[in-house]
């Protein structure tokens, strides 16, 4: 049973969508008007009479970017959307794996394409849904206020595999070889999943420079995590606060950090050099500030701290450490005064 509030909302939504659709059709009767299915869900669930007029005006675009589409929509969903004259679906090749994902790994997006085909086959046979097309989407941000996610040039391999999946229905080993070598011109198969190994690749498709630099970023990120995991064992927050070090361990940390800093400086230069081929100047800067510069500054801060202490530390305080014996008090936030709406 639909609630009075939802009934009111559905009534006004139907009026608004109908007016807009009729106006556009009066100007351009030849074009299709798509609307995301989740914008229609309450109308569809409220009953057939509410959408009779809309069926003649709009085409629902059913979207999901999950690994297995078949599990996402049940039979009842397809029954309701079977009343439309045609239905389109939207898959993705990038920008749907997380708000701060930087690399379009093929496996997730390829599974999304393949299970969309399987779901469409089942729904068309079981519920007579008239599927008319697939839109392969590629998003750059989850919304306008959020960060850049996967960049387009480095996502071309994911797009290639998505298109080939739609053509053939699946990707086997032989097709994988053909796509990676003949179509993309790569010297090895692109990464299907995030690898824990050091990996490099060379390709020749348009945009390969960005794809190759993102491979380097993945490798550098693993190197950063390994180095900082080691450094944080011996240079903790209390060392930074109390301004002292373990002399021998700090020398070991410094050696690793200096090597990492050199690799990171090289990446910053190479990344920006590649970015100017494809983007306006702000994109490279935004991406680095979002994903890289905080890590780089942390590395530099610890290098500077260790170098300074190695030069000046001649003794260390006995325990208990000075200015470290008082209780730590944290003031609880008064959430009743926060206007969250």
Convert the pLDDT of each residue in 297-321 to its tens digit.
999 999 999 999 999 998 877 888 8
Q: Using an 8 Å Cβ cutoff, are 55 and 84 in contact?
A: yes
- 181 and 84 share a domain? yes
In a domain? residue 40:
no
- 70 and 175 share a domain? yes
In a domain? residue 32:
no
| Domain assignment of residue 188, given as a range | 58-197
In a domain? residue 33:
no
- 264 and 192 share a domain? no
- 69 and 137 share a domain? yes
Taking residues 200-226, report their average pLDDT. Answer: 95
CA 319 vs CA 33, 211, 241: distances in Å: 73, 52, 15
pTM confidence score: 0.89
Query: Which of 197, 220, 238 is where one domain is finished?
Result: 197
- End-to-end CA distance of the chain, in Å? 29
- 161 and 185 share a domain? yes
Query: Which of 152, 169, 197 is where one domain is finished?
Result: 197
Q: Which residues of 137-158 are buried (b: 16+ CB within 10 A; e: fewer)?
A: bbeeeeeeeeebbbbbbbbbbb
CA 313 vs CA 243, 247, 308: distances in Å: 9, 9, 8
Q: Please check the confidence at residue 33 and state whether its pLDDT lies above 60.
A: yes
pLDDT band, residue 268 (cuts 50/70/90): very high
- 68 and 173 share a domain? yes
């Amino acid at each position: 049973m639909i609630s009075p509030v939802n009934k009111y909302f559905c009534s006004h939504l139907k009026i608004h969508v109908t007016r807009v659709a009729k106006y556009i059709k009066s100007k351009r009767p030849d074009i299709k008007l798509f609307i995301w299915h989740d914008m229609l869900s309450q109308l569809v669930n409220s009953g057939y009479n509410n959408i009779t007029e809309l069926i003649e005006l709009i085409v629902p675009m059913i979207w999901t970017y999950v690994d297995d589409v078949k599990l996402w929509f049940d039979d009842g969903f397809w029954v309701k959307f079977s009343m439309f004259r045609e239905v389109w679906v939207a898959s993705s090749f990038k920008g749907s794996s997380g708000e701060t994902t930087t690399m379009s790994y093929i496996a997730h997006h390829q599974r999304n394409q393949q299970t969309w085909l399987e779901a469409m086959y089942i729904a068309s046979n079981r519920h007579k849904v008239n599927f008319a097309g697939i839109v392969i989407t590629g998003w750059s941000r989850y919304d306008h206020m959020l960060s850049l996610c996967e960049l387009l040039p480095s996502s071309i391999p994911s797009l290639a595999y998505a298109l080939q999946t739609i053509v053939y229905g699946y990707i086997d080993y032989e097709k994988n070889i053909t796509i990676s070598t003949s179509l993309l011109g790569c010297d090895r198969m692109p990464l299907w999943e995030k690898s824990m190994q050091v990996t490099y690749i060379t390709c020749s498709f348009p945009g390969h420079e960005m794809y190759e630099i993102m491979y380097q970023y993945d490798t550098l990120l693993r190197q950063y995590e390994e180095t900082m995991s080691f450094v944080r064992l011996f240079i903790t927050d209390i060392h930074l606060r109390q301004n002292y070090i373990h002399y021998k361990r700090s020398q070991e940390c410094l050696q690793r950090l200096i090597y990492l800093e050199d690799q990171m400086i090289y990446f910053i230069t190479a990344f920006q050099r590649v970015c100017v081929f494809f983007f306006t100047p702000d994109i490279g800067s935004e991406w680095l500030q979002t994903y890289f510069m905080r890590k780089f500054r942390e590395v530099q801060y610890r290098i500077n701290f260790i170098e300074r202490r190695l030069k000046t530390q001649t003794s260390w305080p006995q325990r208990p450490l000075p200015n470290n014996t008082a209780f730590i008090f944290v003031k609880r936030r008064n959430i009743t005064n926060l206007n969250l709406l």
